[in-house]
Structure 1
């Protein structure tokens, strides 16, 4: 009986640390563009659809998450556009929407 109660308590505590999408509330799991200054509206719309999930369990450090996000966004911009523009990005504890 004690093992069952301990198992139930453990499952309850683990569940409290998760977001509804299964990501951990204590890590940064995704990076997304939140604002774009592209000249063309179609490019701005496309930029705002960009979101990337972190590999593994995400980043515990906000600084590490922001470094990864900046690198990911810069790679996207340089691969997508000949002349880049400025964007704003953010890291979140949830995964990208599907």
Structure 2
């Protein structure tokens, strides 16, 4: 019984840390965009996915930011490393 409880607590703890890390990454990206002006909305995917470019292959969280610019609402997507939180890519949609 204790093993089942411990296993459940560890699983919950890992999920909490992942969610907290994901939220920290989103907060960081939002802060970067807020330096340039207000944002309208932001999102980040629940589960990481593979990210590859010419320099690395890693797991990343993908997300997006919407903000008001001179020509109206503009959307951006980003990829951030799951382990370090490093912003790997940002691009306008």
Q: TM > 0.5 between the two?
A: no
Structure showing greater Rg: 1
> 1 or 2, which has the higher helix percentage?
1
Greater relative contact order (CA < 8 Å, ≥ 6 in sequence) = 1
